[in-house]
Structure 1
Amino acid sequence: MIAGVDVFLLFSRLILSTIFIGWFYQLALDLAAMGRFIVEILNQPTNQSKRGRKMIEFNVQDMTCGHCASRISKAINGIDSSAKVDVRIEGRSVLIESKASPDELAQAIRDAGYTPVAP
């Protein structure tokens, strides 16, 4: 009878292992699918946001310091006070989320004394 109990325990462990392995495998598949979904969402074009704003980027090669960045930000906020401005001095780029047109934004940067170039 002891051999029968050992065989039963062996099969029980085998069945439980198979169930857990299947569960972990399914979990891995679900996580992979979720990862692909997240990557798909992140790779969607973001040039148009939900509020009718556009993402616009300019290269500003003559922007060299924090003072320059401040002047550009103030100039852009002067034409659209709700604009979101991300100035990157190291990359000499300005990323703007605004309802204003690219021409209006470029002119505001020019009026501040800088030369915007669309990438």
Structure 2
Amino acid sequence: MHHLFTLPDMSCGHCVAAIAQALKAADAQAGVEVDLQARTAAVDSALPREPLAAALTEAGYPPAAEG
């Protein structure tokens, strides 16, 4: 499944690394692309959205509510 998260609290390269690490910890097989400029993370994972969002929130980067 493809998921797109908007991460308004992401502001630097350290954030990008922490976000990628949190997503990979939730699903080591996930494809993760983090875009600092757009403040988004695109994830290809077998997991549903909820556990990935929970991992991001636990890492300190709660996703914005889906529009």
Question: The TM-score by the shorter chain falls in which range?
Answer: over 0.9
Which residue of structure 2 aligns with residue 90 of structure 1? 37
When Rg is computed on C-alpha atoms for both structures, the one with the higher figure is 1
Q: What is the TM-score of this pair, normalised by structure 1? A: 0.54
Of 40, 49, 60, which residue of structure 2 is paired with 1:102?
49
- Runs (4+) of structure 1 exceeding 4 A deviation are none
Larger proportion of strand: 2
- Note the C-alpha offset of 1:74: 0.5
Partner SS state of residue 116, structure 1: coil
Larger proportion of helix: 1
Report how many aligned residue pairs link the two structures: 66
Q: What is the TM-score of this pair, normalised by structure 2? A: 0.93
Matched residue type, 1:62: D
Which structure is richer in relative contact order (CA contacts within 8 A, separation 6 or more)? 2
- Identity fraction in percent: 33
Please, what is the CA RMSD of the aligned residues? 0.9
Of 19, 26, 30, which residue of structure 2 is paired with 1:79?
26
Within 2, Cα distance between the matches of 1:67 and 1:113? 12
Which residue of structure 2 aligns with residue 58 of structure 1? 5
Within 2, Cα distance between the matches of 1:67 and 1:101? 26
